[in-house]
Amino acid sequence: NAGVTQTPKFQVLKTGQSMTLQCAQDMNHEYMSWYRQDPGMGLRLIHYSVGAGITDQGEVPNGYNVSRSTTEDFPLRLLSAAPSQTSVYFCASKVAGAVDTQYFGPGTRLTVL
Partner 1 sequence: GENVEQHPSTLSVQEGDSAVIKCTYSDSASNYFPWYKQELGKGPQLIIDIRSNVGEKKDQRIAVTLNKTAKHFSLHITETQPEDSAVYFCAASKGGSQGNLIFGKGTKLSVKP
Q: Who contacts 55 (Cβ-Cβ below 8 Å, separation ≥6)?
A: 47, 48, 49, 66, 67, 68
Q: Does 1 bind partner 1 (CB under 8 A)?
A: no
The 53-92 site mask, x for binding partner 1 (CB under 8 A), equals ---x-x-------------------------------x-x
Query: Which of 67/102 has CB closer to partner 1?
Result: 102
Query: Which of 26/100 has CB closer to partner 1?
Result: 100
| Candidate residues 1, 2, 14, 42; the one interacting with partner 1 per rule CB under 8 A | 42
Q: Label residue 55 exposed, middle or buried (CB < 10 Å: 0-12, 13-18, 19+).
A: middle
Asked if residues 83 and 62 have their Cβ atoms less than 8 Å apart, the reply is no
